[in-house]
Chain A
Amino acid sequence: MLTAIGDMLNWAATGLLLPLLMLPLAAFIRNKRVAALFFLAAIAIVFGGASLFAILAADLRPPILSIGLIATCLAGVLGGAALIGANGAEALTRKIAPPIESIVRRVGRASLYLIIAMALAQFAAVILRYVFGLNFIAVQESITYLHGAVFLLAGGYALLTDDHVRVDIFYRDAPPRRKAMVDLAGTYLLMVPFCLVTLWAAGPYVANSWAVREGSMEQSGIKGVYLLKTLIPIYATLLLLAGFALATRAVETLRTRSA
């Protein structure tokens, strides 16, 4: 049951995120109606390709053909198309990019406090262990939780701040247009597939963990392993949102520089 819900959530996330990711591409097209059509076609192709992949990779679970789910996704896609038709893709992108970017930044900045907390907790554990001979499994485990939360929550943020290392032998001195092209192509061809596959593979993994409310192996450990594992799809989602912001910037660069 929970596995099915996990799948549904996955596909709902995909159903929402994919149209979002298609927006910056549609923003290349000035004609509102053509942009809307392009948007629909792109979604169809990506959904088709993704479904094909999911069917070939039977292990990653083919989509659940629930009518409600399909209806929701369809409504989202058609609604998106209608909005594009009315406002133009560029205006729409410009409207939603800042709030999305600020979500990713806020979540990433939450991890700043977790880092400090992690260092303090680890230090406290050291003092307790080496001076007083006390071991609290819960303290030890809380450090693991904090550690996981830090890098899983800050992954998307680091993409926005351009902290993920690049091999910049050629990139560094490239003109802004070429940089934008690399960012755009890389986001769609390299990063988005990775995030989607992570989402899909994590679905059943996390759902199984929820199903048994997976806790610590230790008696006095923290009973929240299922929550910790839930951070994995959240990580992929945040990366996708950051990817949207990155693509939007790249498209803007390409548009203004070419005009």
Chain B
Amino acid sequence: MEMFGANGFCLCGVTPWLDVAMIVVLCLLILAGYPVAFSLAGTALLFAGIGLAFGVFDPGFIRPLPQRIFGAVSNTTLIAVPMFVLMGVILEKARIAEELLEEMAKLFGSLRGGLGLSVTIVGALLAASTGIVGATVVTMGLLSLPTMLKRGYDPAFACGSIAAAGTLGQIIPPSIVLILLGDVISNAYQKAQLEMGVFAPKAISVGDLFAGALLPGLMLVGLYLAYQILVAVFDGKKTPAIPAEERGAPKEMIAVALKVLPAPLLLIIAVLGSILTGIATPTEAASVGAIGALLIAGARLSPSTGLFSGRMVVYFAAAAIVALLILTSFVDLRVGRVAPSAADQAAMALAAFLCALIPLGVIASGQSLVREKSLRPIADQTARITAMVFTILIGAAMFSLVFRGLGGEETIHRALAALPGGAIGAIIGVMFVMFILGFFLDFIEITLVVVPLVAPALLKMGLDPIWLGVMMAVNLQTSFLTPPFGFALFYLRGVAPPSVKTGDIYRGVAPFIAIQILALIILAANPGMATWLPHLLYD
């Protein structure tokens, strides 16, 4: 590091610490409560100014900022973010998520502990759509907590189940943070390999990370369910069943469940499946998810009478999509081939006809959403969340540019290398720091600010990028659950009735934190859990 600046004066002993000071000041400033994106960028500029004055910062480091912003525009993987946000918001605003939760609760309510199980399962399903901790915790806290309390559930147990299920959104693909994390880790991996002298670096994709997170995510769901079942079996007072007379006839229940459950389930399976099998990119799958959610919402909201009324048209469109899928897997429909056979031509004509049905359904769904006055709020919320995510991305870009300019990367490398225990010591250190940061920062910010700084150094030590990404995701999820600062707890406190004590919430999440730590240990001991599926699918 240059001690004597060209045009500055020496404050030897201070300037080398600017990068560290920058992080400390950021942490303090961020607590004041100004939007994080601008706190990041503003702190960076403050230190860029100090660095300039002392002659230890080259302003050329700020120059690539417009390129970075344009990078966020032109990165096709990141387009998946607004698409998944749109899908989640549609499912939420059209009350599909709510219905899912209610029906699931009725279905399982007859069992002891059934409500708890349904919260976990719906949390895992919703996770697949929104992936923003707050949204899921708030939705489930508002819908399930009052029901669970009314049925005599132990408040601590109910709160713990809801908070834990709400954080599943981070880890179970396709979550938005996993998309961002995948992008960041893949850049870090390229960089680490180049620095190690590998000039044909291997790439990892968002699909890899999705595949890697799937088994650990399902393991967590399994562990949650196992714990809830254990409580129901051995401590039944905490989790009473809904009395038979309030449940309604089983036949009716199953009929309703069959009507409500399959569509969202199929949608989620289709979206996730097409990404994991590598058929579609996350962005493409996300757009199918968004349009699919639109059709489901349309089918729910349209009037049901008449052949050409809204609902039938929507059903036709959905059927057309399924028929197209079947058709295209048996017949080669690609236009522009040399001399397709007559049968192929007929199939193409059929496909074109089917395609014409889809816009009709989409328009009908759009119309019924407009009639319900919910299309505008849906687009509005999607635009605002998207702008929020990408503004953090831009602020984080500014922060990392200045941090690099002040020599911060070197400092982090040295600090990680100085930790005892080599790669294991380094990863334990990083995990601990991220856990603490998880109290103050959201997953998105940590992914965009901290991961790019530490991941190249860790990957250079030979750690597997997918495993590292999944470990980070589970670790942060744990952090969001941990009192007193966990994000999920704040959101739950915000929507829980006053009769629920904060101590109840803390006591309730404790077993789930133990489960998280157990999962982290299992994952650390068996990296194969994260790497097996990606290798199986993509190698």
* Interface, chain A (partner B; CB < 8 A): 53, 56-60, 108-109, 111-113, 115-116, 118-120, 122-123, 125-127, 129-134, 140, 143-144, 147-148, 150-152, 154-155, 157-159, 161, 163-172, 174, 179, 182-183, 185-187, 189-191, 193-194, 197-198, 201-202, 205-206, 228-229, 231-232, 235
CB contacts (< 8 Å) of B52 on chain A: these are: 53, 56-57
A190 adjacent to B29 (CB under 8 Å): yes
Count chain B residues whose beta carbon lies closer than 8 angstroms to a beta carbon of A.
88
Starting from the known contacts A120-B291, A186-B39, A197-B65, 8 additional A-B residue pairs (CB-CB under 8 Å) come to A111-B387, A115-B82, A119-B86, A132-B333, A154-B383, A186-B34, A197-B62, A205-B67
CB contacts (< 8 Å) of B528 on chain A: these are: none
Interface centre among B33, B45, B290, B355 (most CB of A within 10 A): B33
B82 adjacent to A151 (CB under 8 Å): yes
Partner of A186, one of B38, B390, B398: B38
A194 adjacent to B42 (CB under 8 Å): yes
B34 adjacent to A183 (CB under 8 Å): yes
* Interface, chain B (partner A; CB < 8 A): 7, 29-39, 41-43, 45-46, 48-49, 52-53, 58-60, 62-63, 65-67, 69-70, 72-74, 76, 78-79, 82-83, 86, 279-280, 283-284, 286-288, 290-291, 294, 324, 327-328, 333-337, 348, 351, 355, 358, 362, 366, 375-376, 379-380, 382-392, 395, 398, 440-442, 444-445, 485, 490
Q: How far in angstroms is the closest Cβ of chain A from B298?
A: 13
B66 adjacent to A133 (CB under 8 Å): no
B38 adjacent to A151 (CB under 8 Å): no
CB contacts (< 8 Å) of B49 on chain A: these are: 53
Q: How far in angstroms is the closest Cβ of chain B from A119?
A: 5
Also in contact, A193 and B42, with CB within 8 A (given A122-B287, A159-B35, A170-B32): yes
Q: How far in angstroms is the closest Cβ of chain A from B460?
A: 30
Q: How far in angstroms is the closest Cβ of chain A from B430?
A: 21
B386 adjacent to A190 (CB under 8 Å): no
Q: Which residue of A lies closest to B66 (CB)?
A: A205
Also in contact, A127 and B355, with CB within 8 A (given A190-B43, A197-B65): yes
A155 adjacent to B351 (CB under 8 Å): no
CB contacts (< 8 Å) of A182 on chain B: these are: 32-34
Q: Considering the chains assembled together, what is the distance between the CA atoms of A182 and B294 in angstroms?
A: 40
Q: How far in angstroms is the closest Cβ of chain A from B344?
A: 12
B62 adjacent to A57 (CB under 8 Å): yes
A194 adjacent to B290 (CB under 8 Å): no
Partner of B83, one of A122, A130, A154, A229: A122
Also in contact, A190 and B383, with CB within 8 A (given A56-B53, A115-B82, A147-B73): no
CB contacts (< 8 Å) of B351 on chain A: these are: 131-132
A112 adjacent to B35 (CB under 8 Å): no
CB contacts (< 8 Å) of A171 on chain B: these are: 32-33
Q: Considering the chains assembled together, what is the distance between the CA atoms of A168 and B291 in angstroms?
A: 34
A167 adjacent to B31 (CB under 8 Å): yes
Q: How far in angstroms is the closest Cβ of chain A from B91?
A: 14
Partner of B382, one of A115, A122, A191, A206: A115
Binding site of A, secondary structure by majority: helix, strand, loop or mixed? Answer: helix
Also in contact, A148 and B73, with CB within 8 A (given A123-B288, A154-B383, A158-B387): yes
Q: Considering the chains assembled together, what is the distance between the CA atoms of A78 and B505 in angstroms?
A: 59
Also in contact, A166 and B283, with CB within 8 A (given A59-B63, A190-B43): no
CB contacts (< 8 Å) of B72 on chain A: these are: 151
Q: How far in angstroms is the closest Cβ of chain B from A21?
A: 14
Q: Which residue of B lies closest to A108 (CB)?
A: B383
Q: Considering the chains assembled together, what is the distance between the CA atoms of A202 and B73 in angstroms?
A: 14
B63 adjacent to A60 (CB under 8 Å): yes
Q: Considering the chains assembled together, what is the distance between the CA atoms of A126 and B283 in angstroms?
A: 10
Q: How far in angstroms is the closest Cβ of chain B from A194?
A: 4
Q: Which residue of B lies closest to A126 (CB)?
A: B284
Q: Considering the chains assembled together, what is the distance between the CA atoms of A44 and B477 in angstroms?
A: 49
Q: How far in angstroms is the closest Cβ of chain B from A243?
A: 9
